[in-house]
Structure 1
C-alpha cells in the first residue's frame, strides 16, 4: 500500500512539517499531524509526496513543488540514456542540465515541467527551435506521470530546492 505523506510550512516558525494532512475547508485551515501533534501550516505550502525518493545516501523524499536537477556530466557516455528522447535532445542541443519542477496538479497525478540549460543559461525557445525571432520565451516541456521521473532519478537526478524556499531556481518568464 502506498504511503500518503504531506508537508507544509509551519505558521509559527516557518519550518517544514511532515505527516498527515488535516484540513478545515470551510475556514481554509490546514494542519500537519507530525508525531501525533497537529500544527497549523501555510495552506499554499501544502504538498504531497509523489511516492519517489532520490537515489542518494539521504534518500530524500520528493514532493510536489520540488525542483530536481539532472546533470549531463553524471551520465556515462555509453549509458542507454543517450538513446532516449531526453538523452537525444540533451546531446543534440549540448544541454548541460535539465531542471525539473514538479507542480501541484488538480487531478490525482504527478505533473512536471522541465527547463533546459546550456553553459549555465536557460535555453530559450528560439535557441531550441533554431529560429531567428525576437520571442525569447524560456523553452520548457510539460508532462505527467512518474515514469520519466523514475528514469531520471535512476540516472542521478536530485532535489535542489523547492518553489517556496528557492523560487530563483526557475527562469523568469519574459
Structure 2
C-alpha cells in the first residue's frame, strides 16, 4: 500500500506491478484528481485507488482497508509534525501483517536544494536526521519490531526508515 501516493509513477516502473505479481496494491491520497489519475492509468494492472486523508486512517478507514505485507510513503512525512508522524507510523505499523514491512522517507537537514524547494517549489518541509527518524518509532512497542534500519540513498539527501514487524 502506498500512502500519499501522488500519481504512483513507481508502479509504471515495477515489473512485478506490471505483471500483477504483487497481490493487492492499494494507493491512498487525499486529492480527488490524483486518485482519478491513478485509477485511469493503473486500474488495468489491479491498483485500487482511494481518496483517504491521514485523519481517516486514524479512524475506521484503517480497519476497512485491512492488513498488508508492505506499506510505504515517500514524500508525506516531510510535512508532518513529530507528533502526527509518530502517530501515523504507529497506525501504519498496526496495519501490517506479521512479518510485514513499512518504509517511509524524509529529506535530511542541510541539503543544498532546500532553498530551491522553498523558493521555487513552495515546499516547506520538516527535515529529519537519523535521531529524528528514530524518534518517529517511539509509539511502536519494541517487542513488535523484528528488524529496523535507517539509511540514506546514494546522494545523501533522503533518509529511509524501514521497520519489519515480528512474524
TM-score bucket (shorter structure): under 0.3
Looking at secondary structure, tell me which structure has more strand per residue: 1
Which protein has the bigger helix share?
2
Q: TM-score w.r.t. structure 1 length? A: 0.23
TM-score by length of 2: 0.23
* Bigger Rg, which one: 1
